[in-house]
Amino acid sequence: MRRSEDAAPPLGVGIVGMGGIGAMHARALGELGGRARLVAYSGRVRPPAGPGERDLPAVRLAPREVIDHPDVEVVAICTPSGTHAALALAALEAGRHVVVEKPLALDVDDALRVARAAHDRGRSVSMIAQRRLEAEHIALKRALDDGALGELRLAMTTVHWHRDDDYYRAAGWRSAADQGGGSLMNQGVHNVDLLRWLCGPVESVTAQSGTLAHATAAEDTTVATLRFASGALGVVTTTTATPPGFPATISLFGSRGSVELGQGEVLRWDVPGVPRPTAGGPVSGAAEPLAIGHAGHLAQWTGVVEALETSTPVPVGVDDAVETVRLLCAIQQAASSGAVVRPAAL
Q: What is the CATH number of the domain that holds 267?
A: 3.30.360.10
Radius of gyration of the chain (CA): 20
- What pLDDT score was predicted for residue 294? 85
Residue 5: predicted pLDDT: 46
What pLDDT is recorded for position 52?
47
Residue 33 has pLDDT above 70, yes or no: yes
Same-domain pairing of 44 and 155: no
The answer as to whether 2 is a domain residue is: no
What is the pLDDT, as a whole number, of residue 21?
A: 93
pTM of this prediction exceeds 0.75:
yes
> What integer pLDDT is reported at residue 57 of this predicted model?
78
In this prediction, residue 290 carries a pLDDT of 60
Does residue 340 share a domain with residue 191? yes
Cα 135 to the center of its chain, rounded Å: 16
Condensed to tens digits (0 to 9), the pLDDT of residues 67-90 reads: 999 999 999 999 999 999 999 999
Residues 12-35, mean pLDDT to the nearest whole number: 95
Chain centroid offset of residue 74 CA: 17
DSSP lists the bridge partners of residue 128 as: none
What are residue 254's phi and psi, to 5 degrees? Answer: -115, 180
Phi/psi of residue 278, nearest 5 degrees? -95, 125
**Residue 4, domain member (yes or no):** no
| The pLDDT value given to residue 228 | 98
Dump pLDDT digits (tens) for 198-211: 999 999 999 999 99
| pLDDT band with cut points at 50, 70 and 90 for residue 280 | confident
Q: Which among 331, 316, 341, 334 has a CA at the least distance from the CA of 129? A: 316
The pLDDT assigned to 253 comes to 98
User: Do 236 and 140 fall into the same domain?
Assistant: yes
Q: Which DSSP string do the residues of 96-129 spell out, in sequence order?
A: -EEEEPSPS-SSHHHHHHHHHHHHHHT--EEE--
Say yes or no: 143 and 196 in one domain.
yes
Give the model confidence (pLDDT) of 85-134 as tens digits: 999 999 999 999 999 999 999 999 999 999 999 999 999 999 999 999 99
Return the pLDDT at 50: 56
Q: State how many domains the chain has.
A: 2
255 and 211 fall within a common domain: yes
Residues 124, 136 within the same domain: no
pLDDT of residue 95: 98
State the pLDDT at residue 279.
87
For residue 1, is it within any domain?
no
Q: How far is CA 321 from CA 79, 93, 314, in A?
A: 17, 19, 12
CB 296 within 8 A of CB 316: no
Looking at residue 281, the DSSP 8-state letter turns out to be -
Q: What are the pLDDT digits (tens) for 244-253? A: 999 999 999 9
Amino acid present at 184: L
| Res. 6: pLDDT tops 60 | no
| Whether the predicted pLDDT of 34 surpasses 90 | yes
154 with 220, same domain: the answer is yes
Residue 234 has pLDDT above 70, yes or no: yes
What percentage of the chain has pLDDT greater than the value 70?
92
Based on the domain organization, do 85 and 151 belong to the same domain? Answer: no
pLDDT, average across residues 268-275: 97
Q: What is the mean pLDDT of the chain?
A: 93
Q: What is the CATH classification number for the domain harbouring 30? A: 3.40.50.720
Query: 143 phi and psi, to 5 degrees?
Result: -65, -40
Which residue range(s) make up the domain with 50?
11-130+296-317
Residue 5, in any domain of the structure = no
3-state secondary structure of 296: helix
What element of type H or E holds 333?
A: helix 318-337
| pLDDT, average across residues 163-185 | 96
State the pLDDT confidence band at 54, using cuts at 50, 70 and 90.
very low
254 lies in the same domain as 124: no
Higher pLDDT, 286 or 178: 178
Would you say residue 69 lies in a domain? yes
Residues 167, 282: one domain?
A: yes
Q: 343: cis peptide before it, omega within 30°?
A: no
Q: How many residues does the chain have?
A: 346
Phi then psi for residue 125, to 5 deg, are -130, 125
Q: Is the pLDDT of residue 325 over 70?
A: yes
22 and 162: one domain?
A: no
Query: Could you tell me if 264 and 147 lie in one domain?
Result: yes
pLDDT at 4 over 50: no
Range 24-43 average pLDDT: 95
- Residue 132 phi/psi, 5° resolution? -65, -25
> Would you state the pLDDT for residue 144?
98
Q: DSSP secondary structure string, 207-253?
A: EEEE--SS--SS-SEEEEEEEETTS-EEEEEEESBSTT----EEEEE
Instruction: Provide the pLDDT for residue 146.
Output: 97
DSSP code per residue over 143-204: HHHTTTT-SEEEEEEEEE-B--HHHHHH-GGGG-GGGT-SIIIIISHHHHHHHHHHH--EEE
Distance CA 151, CA 214 (A): 40
pLDDT of residue 28: 95
